[in-house]
């Protein structure tokens, strides 16, 4: 079964998409044709959006589902006229909130994902550059400034997780790769020993690591089951010896890994 | 005025947070104390969450606002007993959707931000590594594989935007920095000339670029108003001469820059 969904927003559309994806995933047997209509900020924009939605309704011969985060009353009124199931975030939640809080909400065009202030901007940008500069063990001398140091085998997800922690939470995440040479004596490198309380380990099952490395270098020693099993045994010995908190990231997305790390370590985000 | 808000989820909490931030930003005069309670997956977890929320209500002497994306009926029933304004995403939207679609939704514990499939995982990871490998003009020989090549001055936001495009949309974004040497003759470097259709420019006002560079190297020639004005004149001449689409990113967040690029170029995301 195939249906259409639209995400309509006066801003980036990210809130509408996030909300919509969450809802659509509950109807997994439907093949969703998805489209985002961002920056709908004028009456003309709203009419153009309605036209596009109605056109799709006509083609599909079925009503699309529309997730809207429009805030301005006049824009929402135009959208409401379209031939679709319109799920309007604003109208559903703002009423009860105004009542509970006893104040009126702002109906300005949405800037949920706008720059909040100069300071938050720098926290975020500096965290991204910190992650880049301290990726893959490139440098170890700035570990005193790190919020967290991810350790794990090659292709265990350290780099994307570091970048996500930076972009989403403003955290300064370094990462350091363990290679087979590190397992000869089950001793932490000195650069890590000095910052043991910041270490967090990522592991994968041998099957998963084999699959990921094979995608990169098929039929190599690097990707072989024997090699990944040896490396996993080695790194687990180090995690156990030094009591390093760690997570098996097999089947977890970058978002899940990152939020689990916060939950497990109690690390406080620098951006809300 | 100070109030508390909770984001309660059986998964990462990202949907609840995104939704909640969007709503809270409508009540800007309130100072929000925000807390995420992720991975609420058992009845015991739900009771612990309720206890925490009630404790806060007691301390604040006011009801917190709770944004919930819990899906399981039994967990939602426990949460509903807390002493707060509970805004339950699931109950509000799923009913109308089930009616329109004529099918029941899945009430499994939420994995909106879970790995969807092996292929999507690789699209994303490969995009992140592409952005890293092709950051800041480090390499130019893989531009044939790029979806987009961001061009701009130093500290105009190219790197975080490239990474966001990779993580969020799975797009392979390279970026190339223009320096004053590039402006001597207003001619595109050959590596860019060969891929003119992939270029997208980022600019900033002189004041903003001066502020950002000063944060990095205060009182340097690099950060001086005179220098940034010269560079901005130079890059605008190139954008105009070669008809390169571009965006003034002053006051825009990384999310806004990224989604505007998609809207302006018509580039299709590789991940939904």
CB contacts of A256 in chain B (<8 Å) are 11-12, 113-114
Residues A107-132 pLDDT 10s = 766 566 666 677 888 899 999 999 99
Question: Any idea which residue has 């009182």 for tokens?
Answer: B219
Tell me, what's the pLDDT at A111?
Answer: 63
Nearest to B39 by CA among B114, B89, B117, B91: B114
Q: Phi and psi at residue B201, in whole multiples of 5°?
A: -100, 145
Q: Decide if A237 touches B, using CB distance below 8 A.
A: no
The rounded distance, in Å, linking the Cα atoms of B106 and A70 is: 27
Helix ranges (H only) for chain A are 14-24, 43-60, 73-80, 89-101, 118-133, 158-169, 190-193, 206-216, 225-241, 254-265
Number of residues that make up chain A: 272
CB contacts of A29 in chain B (<8 Å) are 103
* Residues 6+ away with beta carbon under 8 Å from A68: A8, A9, A16, A76, A79, A86, A87, A88, A89, A90
Tell me, what's the pLDDT at A251?
Answer: 87
Tell me, what's the pLDDT at A225?
Answer: 96
Q: Which helix (H) or strand (E) holds B76?
A: helix B73-80
pLDDT at B115 over 70: no
The rounded distance, in Å, linking the Cα atoms of B141 and B149 is: 12
Q: What pTM was estimated for this model as a whole?
A: 0.88
Rounded alpha-carbon distances, angstroms, from residue A190 to A154, A230, B181, B232: 20, 23, 42, 45
Q: Which of B108, B259, B266 to mutate to test the interface with A (most CBs of A within 10 A)?
A: B259
A141: DSSP letter: T
Sequence ranges of the domains in chain B = 2-101, 118-265
What stretches in chain A show pLDDT beneath 70?
A: 108-116
Q: Which of B29, B34, B92 sits opposite A272 (nearest CB)?
A: B34
Tell me, what's the pLDDT at B106?
Answer: 81
Q: Which of B15, B27, B36 sits opposite A22 (nearest CB)?
A: B15
Ramachandran area for residue B185 (φ above 0: left; ψ -120 to 50: alpha; else beta): alpha
* Cα torsion through A57, A21, B169, B109, rounded to 10: -150
Decide if A86 contacts A105 (C-beta within 8 A). no
Nearest to B67 by CA among B4, B108, B19, B109: B19
CA A47 to chain centre: 33
What separation, in Å, do the N-terminal and C-terminal C-alpha atoms of chain A show? 39
Question: Any idea which residue has 């109308």 for tokens?
Answer: B96
Nearest to B100 by CA among A91, A50, A25, A84: A84
Residues B157-202 pLDDT 10s = 999 999 999 999 999 999 999 988 888 888 899 999 999 999 999 9
Q: What is the CA radius of gyration of chain A?
A: 24
CATH class of A118-265: alpha beta
B34: DSSP letter: E
What separation, in Å, do the N-terminal and C-terminal C-alpha atoms of chain B show? 39
Q: Decide if B201 touches A, using CB distance below 8 A.
A: no
Percentage of chain B with pLDDT > 70? 97
Helix ranges (H only) for A170-205 are 190-193
B185: DSSP letter: T
Which one of 3.30.300, 3.40.50, 2.40.50, 3.30.110 gives the CATH number of domain B2-101?
Answer: 3.40.50
The rounded distance, in Å, linking the Cα atoms of A121 and A123 is: 6
* Binding-face residues of B in 136-195 toward A, CB within 8 A: 157, 159-160, 163-164, 167
Q: Phi and psi at residue B146, in whole multiples of 5°?
A: -75, 145
Helix ranges (H only) for B5-72 are 14-24, 43-60
3-state DSSP assignment of residue B199: strand
Tell me, what's the pLDDT at B76?
Answer: 95
pLDDT at B116 over 90: no
Residues A162-176 pLDDT 10s = 999 999 999 999 999
Q: Which of B105, B113, B253 sits opposite A114 (nearest CB)?
A: B253
> Cβ of B163 and A167 within 8 Å?
yes
Q: Decide if B196 touches A, using CB distance below 8 A.
A: no
Tell me, what's the pLDDT at A114?
Answer: 66
Nearest to A82 by CA among A124, A46, A111: A46
pLDDT at B109 over 70: no
Q: What is the ipTM of this complex?
A: 0.87
> Cβ of A94 and B23 within 8 Å?
yes
B191-196 long-range Cβ contacts below 8 angstroms, 24+ apart? B191/B140, B191/B141, B191/B143, B192/B140, B192/B143, B192/B149, B192/B151, B194/B143, B195/B143, B195/B144, B195/B146, B195/B149, B196/B242, B196/B244
Q: Which helix (H) or strand (E) holds A4?
A: strand A2-8
3-state DSSP assignment of residue A81: coil
Number of residues that make up chain B: 272
The rounded distance, in Å, linking the Cα atoms of B228 and B235 is: 10
CB contacts of B164 in chain A (<8 Å) are 167
The vertex-B82 CA angle with B78 and B86, nearest 5°, equals: 95
> Cβ of B22 and A89 within 8 Å?
yes
């Amino acid at each position: 079964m195939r249906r259409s969904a639209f995400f309509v927003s006066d801003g980036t559309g990210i809130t509408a998409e996030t909300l919509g994806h969450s809802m659509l995933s509950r109807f997994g047997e439907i093949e969703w044709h998805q489209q985002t209509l961002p920056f709908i900020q004028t009456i003309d924009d709203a009419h153009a959006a309605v036209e596009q939605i109605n056109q799709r309704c006509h083609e599909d011969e079925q009503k699309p589902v529309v997730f809207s985060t429009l805030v301005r009353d006049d824009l929402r009124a135009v959208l409401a006229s379209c031939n679709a199931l319109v799920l309007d975030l604003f109208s559903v939640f703002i009423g009860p909130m105004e009542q509970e809080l006893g104040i009126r909400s702002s109906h300005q065009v949405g800037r949920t994902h706008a720059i909040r202030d100069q300071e938050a901007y720098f926290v975020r940008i500096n965290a991204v550059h910190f992650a880049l500069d301290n990726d893959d063990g490139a440098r170890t001398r700035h570990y005193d400034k790190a919020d967290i140091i991810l350790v794990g085998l090659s292709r265990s997800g350290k780099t994307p997780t570091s970048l996500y922690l930076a972009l989403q939470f403003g955290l300064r995440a370094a990462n350091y790769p363990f290679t087979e040479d590190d397992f000869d004596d089950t001793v932490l490198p000195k650069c890590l020993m000095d910052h043991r309380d910041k270490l967090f380990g990522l592991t994968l099952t041998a099957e998963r690591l084999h699959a990921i490395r094979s995608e990169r270098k098929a039929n190599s020693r690097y990707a072989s089951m024997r090699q990944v099993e040896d490396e996993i045994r080695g790194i687990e010995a180090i995690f156990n010896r030094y009591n390093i908190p760690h997570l098996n990231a097999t089947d977890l997305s970058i978002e899940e890994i990152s939020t689990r790390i916060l939950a497990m370590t109690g690390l406080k985000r620098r951006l809300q």
